[in-house]
């Protein structure tokens, strides 16, 4: 199982073959995991990946466990 590389900045284009774009807003992106990629925080497969370059983010009830990952310039939220 491939784990997302978040050692510097996360480059979504390296994983686009296995991530389906669900939503693309200004500064944020939501993708669904179609290739069984592993979460860089807990190592388990995640369902959706939210990427934000914004300074602040607000979420409703995620309804499931989630992990947070910080890269050089992004916040990643991975739901399981």
Which residues are near Zn ion by CB under 5 A? 39, 41-42, 67, 78
CB 66 within 8 A of CB 76: no
Q: Which residues contact 21 (CB under 8 A, 6 or more apart)?
A: 29, 30, 31
Look up tokens 């409703």; give the residue. 60
By C-beta, is 26 or 46 nearer to Zn ion? 46
By C-beta, is 27 or 43 nearer to Zn ion? 43
Cβ at position 55, least distance to Zn ion in Å? 23
Cβ at position 63, least distance to Zn ion in Å? 15
């Amino acid at each position: 199982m491939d784990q997302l590389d978040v050692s510097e900045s996360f480059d979504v284009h390296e994983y686009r073959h296995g991530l389906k774009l669900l939503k693309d807003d200004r500064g944020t992106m939501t993708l669904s995991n179609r290739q069984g990629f592993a979460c860089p925080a807990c190592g388990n497969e995640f369902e959706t990946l939210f990427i934000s370059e914004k300074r602040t983010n607000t979420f409703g009830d995620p309804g499931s466990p989630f992990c947070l990952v910080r890269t050089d310039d992004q916040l990643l939220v991975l739901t399981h």
